[in-house]
């Protein structure tokens, strides 16, 4: 009967083209509005490294004030002090570990006619690239020796390589920034995680940095931090050494934990480390070490903006309004077809048969609405992209992946079926004899 109902649905749609088109349009517009916002929310919160996000853990330790706990005591600070980052890095207790912070640089071009320009930079350890599966176009990451000996080596991004060297293999070439000349050891391939998960302090959706260099080199040469710095008490002195020895947090610290046993082992190490620090007069708060994985880290940092959730709520309301219109249109259609319903009942159709027939017809309208809804969603995303084209990250958020495409169709079908329930029920209530004598 399913194929028969499909045939009847197609005939009915063809027999009422205007009404059917209105229903498809109402669903498509509602789906378009809903899916546009939902796609943005989905992309904002999507897992940027799903295949190993559970193995990547951000280290949190509660080094904050006992009198004024960080975030009211709800969770430990989201960055580490330099003292702790240095100690954890040196301990090498995880399979891989990195200490990292953002540090912008000014490039001094070799061509004297070209003006210096600012680029974004990141101080980190060699493990950064292997931990986060960063793709390389040319060369590779620097080695452990470079980290140890504070070498001036760097990995540059594809756009910077394009800008400086026309996209050619630039490994072995030099780039001078703020007076320091770095040797390029690697050039990244296209790497554009939707969420810049490894540093959520500022804009979670901004592009990855233009250049990466050793953490040790940045520390030895006193590179500044472009990210957030928070202190619960001022440094004991005004110089850099005092700042580095202070309780100010400004460094992100990630470890790679391959399994549960390794997690337990690393957590034991952290606990022991904090107990040791307590004996030195630090860590006044109760023991509270955490190792959130990438997704937990994104939730903790509220990567998805609350405004987007509000917008999504409004879009859902709009979809409901569209569905109410669809219900009205379906009712009108059913009322126009009472004679057909009555006749089919007389010829042996049960209420269940009619229900099946009308629900399948509604499902067909839903599929059509969903397909058109993909188009309206695409238009909506295009509109947002054009409206906010001054922000680089918007392009990443306005991409409709296969999940969103499938969801658009599924949502349209479910919406159409939900909208069809009442009109279909009304159709089933038409008594067989009611319309058959109409001349």
Which residues bind to another protein, rule: CB under 8 A?
1, 4, 11-12, 14-15, 339-340, 343-353, 431-433, 436-439
**Nearest approach, Cβ of residue 350 and another protein (Å):** 4
- Nearer to another protein by Cβ, of 12 and 161: the residue is 12
Q: How far is the CB of 360 from another protein (least distance, A)?
A: 14
Give whichever of 285 and 345 is closer to another protein, judged by the CB atom. 345
CB of 417 to another protein, least distance (A): 22
Give least dist CB 425 to another protein, A.
13
Residue placing its CB nearer to another protein in the complex, 67 or 352: 352
State which residue, 15 or 310, has the beta carbon closest to another protein: 15
Closer to another protein by CB, 233 or 339: give it: 339
Q: Per residue, what are the HEC states of the chain? A: CHHHHHHHHHHHHHHCHHHHHHHHHHHHHHHHHHHHHHHHHHHHHCCCCCCCCCCEEECECCCCCCCCCHHHHCCCCCCEEHHHHHHHHHHCCCCEEEEEEECCEEECCCCCCCCCEEECEEEECCHHHHHCCCCEEEECCCCHHHHHCCCCEEEECHHHHHHHHCCCCCCCCEEEECCEEEEEEEEECCCCCCCCCCCCCCCCCCCCCCEEEEHHHHHHCCCCCCCCCECCCCCCCCCHHHHHCCCCEEEEEEEECCCHHHHHHHHHHHHHHHHHHHHCCCCCCCCCCECCEHHHHHHHCCCCCHHHHHHHHHHHHHHHHHHHHHHHHHHHHHHHCHHHHHHHHHCCCCHHHHHHHHHHHHHHHHHHHHHHHHHHHHHHHHHHHHHCCCCCCHHHHCCCCHHHHHHHHHHHHHHHHHHHHHHHHHHHCCCCCCCCCCC
In the complex, least distance from residue 430 CB atom to another protein, rounded to whole angstroms: 11
Closest separation between CB of residue 348 and another protein, Å? 2
Q: Which is nearer to another protein, 67 or 438 (CB)?
A: 438
- CB of residue 349 vs another protein: minimum separation in angstroms? 5
Q: Which is nearer to another protein, 4 or 422 (CB)?
A: 4
- Rounded to a whole number of angstroms, the minimum distance from the CB of residue 132 to another protein is 60
Q: Which is nearer to another protein, 209 or 361 (CB)?
A: 361
């Amino acid at each position: 009967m399913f194929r028969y109902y499909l045939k009847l649905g197609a005939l009915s749609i063809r027999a009422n083209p205007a009404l059917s088109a209105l229903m498809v349009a109402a669903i498509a517009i509602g789906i378009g509005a809903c899916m546009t916002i939902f796609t943005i929310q989905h992309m904002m919160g999507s897992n940027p490294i799903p295949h190993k996000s559970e193995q990547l853990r951000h280290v949190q330790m509660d080094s904050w004030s006992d009198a004024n706990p960080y975030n009211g005591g709800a969770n430990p600070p989201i960055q580490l002090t330099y003292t702790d980052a240095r100690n954890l890095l040196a301990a090498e207790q995880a399979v891989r570990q990195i200490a990292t912070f953002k540090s912008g640089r000014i490039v001094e071009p070799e061509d004297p006619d070209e003006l210096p320009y600012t680029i974004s930079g990141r101080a980190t350890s060699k493990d950064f690239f292997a931990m986060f599966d960063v793709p390389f176009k040319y060369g590779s990451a620097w080695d452990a020796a470079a980290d140890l000996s504070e070498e001036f080596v760097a990995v540059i991004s594809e756009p910077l390589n394009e800008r400086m060297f026309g996209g050619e293999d630039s490994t072995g070439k030099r780039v001078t920034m703020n007076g320091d000349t770095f040797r390029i050891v690697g050039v990244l391939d296209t790497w554009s995680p939707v969420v810049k998960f490894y540093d959520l302090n500022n804009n979670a959706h901004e592009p990855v940095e233009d250049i990466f260099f050793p953490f040790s080199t940045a520390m030895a040469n006193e590179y500044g931090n472009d990210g957030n710095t928070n202190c619960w008490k001022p440094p004991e002195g005004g110089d850099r050494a005092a700042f580095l020895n202070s309780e100010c947090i400004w460094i992100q610290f990630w470890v790679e934990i391959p399994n549960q046993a390794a997690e337990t082992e690393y957590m034991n190490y952290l606990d022991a480390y904090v107990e040791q620090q307590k004996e030195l007069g630090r860590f006044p708060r109760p023991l509270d070490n955490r190792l959130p994985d990438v997704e937990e880290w994104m939730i903790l940092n509220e990567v998805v903006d609350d405004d987007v959730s509000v917008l999504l709520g409004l879009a859902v309301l709009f979809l409901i309004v569209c569905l109410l219109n669809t219900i009205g249109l379906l009712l009108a259609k059913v009322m126009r077809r009472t004679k057909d319903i009555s006749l089919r009942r007389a010829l042996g159709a049960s209420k269940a048969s009619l229900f099946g027939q009308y629900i399948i017809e509604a499902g067909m309208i839903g599929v059509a609405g969903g397909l058109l809804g993909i188009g309206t969603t695409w238009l909506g995303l295009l509109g947002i992209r054009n409206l906010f084209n001054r922000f680089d990250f918007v392009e990443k958020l306005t991409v409709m992946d296969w999940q969103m495409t499938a969801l658009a169709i599924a949502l349209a079908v479910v919406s159409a079926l939900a909208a069809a329930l009442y009109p279909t029920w009304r159709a089933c209530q038409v008594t067989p004899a009611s319309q058959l004598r109409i001349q």
